[in-house]
């Protein structure tokens, strides 16, 4: 069963008719969209779903790796996500909570980091660029493959696990790659800002290695080509 209709829910449609797993993919997808009513709506749906589900089923919830950032942990979005994790832990007999970084897919969400930068560059708009700040970018297809492997092998039941790229990149590197691919000069002002945080991927590294996934130096380039190639833009 899959709850939700956005990028994550669409990506996990293979579980729509699988009885042993419930994918709750109806949560807030971005810290930019996080009103009190949005938070309340997700919490209400989460509680109702947990009240009615068979506790023999594995309950899967998606949270955020950025909870690890000391600069963000007290804002509305991350406080809400931590609360939702607690509700799942308290009410689901069998669960896995997957914390995700910046996920990139074909849904062009301007509130996500990748498409925010893409839109600024392709429409020739000026923006502030945080100097030296690192972020973690992962392809939605890799998220699905890693999560599915974990579910299939019954790993990390009743645990919180980070599913992320094994390597961070600077926001500057993301901008440079997008700008190069689109062949458009990025118009930005460098801002000194300290907000990088470590994502511990130790637990998934053996899984990633066994699956043959390659988070090498070309990974960002490949994502940019894959998800920017179909977009219209002005030169």
How many CA atoms within 13 Å lie on the side-chain side of 118?
24
Element (H, E) at 95: strand 95-100
| pLDDT tens digits, one per residue of 18-38 | 989 999 998 776 666 667 888
Q: Which pLDDT value is given to residue 223?
A: 96
Q: Which pLDDT value is given to residue 97?
A: 98
Measured from the Cβ of residue 89, the count of other Cβ atoms closer than 10 Å reads 14
CB 227 within 8 A of CB 106: yes
Q: Which pLDDT value is given to residue 35?
A: 77
Torsion of CA 197, 203, 206, 207, to 10 degrees: -100
Residue count (the chain):
235
The sign of the torsion formed by the CA atoms of 20, 26, 32, 36 equals: negative
> In percent, how much of the chain has pLDDT > 70?
93
Tell me how far CA of residue 53 lies from CA of 25, 119, 161, 191, in angstroms.
Answer: 15, 40, 22, 48
The two three-digit tokens of residue 34, written as one number? 């996080």
Q: Which pLDDT value is given to residue 111?
A: 82
Phi, psi for residue 109 in degrees, rounded to 5: -95, 110
Q: Which pLDDT value is given to residue 83?
A: 93
Using alpha carbons, select from 108, 105, 73, 84 the residue that is nearest to residue 223: 105
| pLDDT tens digits, one per residue of 75-89 | 788 889 999 999 999
Architecture of the domain delimited by 2-228: 3-Layer(aba) Sandwich (3.40)
Q: How far apart are CA 207 and CA 201, in angstroms?
A: 10
Model confidence, pTM: 0.92
Residues of the chain below pLDDT 70? 29-34, 69-74, 196, 232-235
Q: Which pLDDT value is given to residue 233?
A: 52
């Amino acid at each position: 069963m899959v709850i939700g209709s956005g990028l994550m829910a669409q990506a996990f449609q293979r579980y729509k008719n699988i009885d042993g797993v419930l994918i709750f993919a109806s949560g807030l997808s971005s810290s930019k969209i996080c009103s009190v009513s949005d938070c309340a709506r997700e919490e209400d749906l989460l509680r109702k779903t947990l009240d009615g589900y068979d506790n023999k089923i594995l309950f899967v919830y998606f949270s955020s790796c950025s909870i690890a950032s000391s600069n963000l942990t007290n804002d509305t979005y991350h406080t809400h996500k931590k609360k939702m994790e607690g509700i799942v832990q308290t009410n689901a007999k069998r669960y896995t909570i997957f914390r995700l970084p910046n996920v990139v897919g074909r849904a062009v969400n301007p509130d996500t980091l990748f498409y925010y930068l893409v839109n600024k560059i392709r429409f020739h708009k000026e923006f502030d660029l945080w100097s030296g700040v690192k972020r973690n970018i992962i392809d939605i297809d890799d998220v699905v493959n890693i999560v599915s492997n974990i579910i299939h092998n019954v790993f990390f039941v009743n645990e919180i696990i980070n599913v992320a790229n094994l390597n961070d990149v600077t926001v500057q590197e993301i901008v440079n790659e997008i700008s190069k691919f689109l062949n458009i000069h990025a118009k930005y002002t460098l801002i000194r800002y300290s907000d990088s945080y470590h994502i511990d991927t130790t637990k998934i590294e053996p899984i990633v290695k066994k699956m043959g996934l390659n988070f090498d130096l070309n990974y960002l380039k490949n994502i940019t080509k894959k998800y920017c190639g179909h977009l219209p833009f002005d030169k």
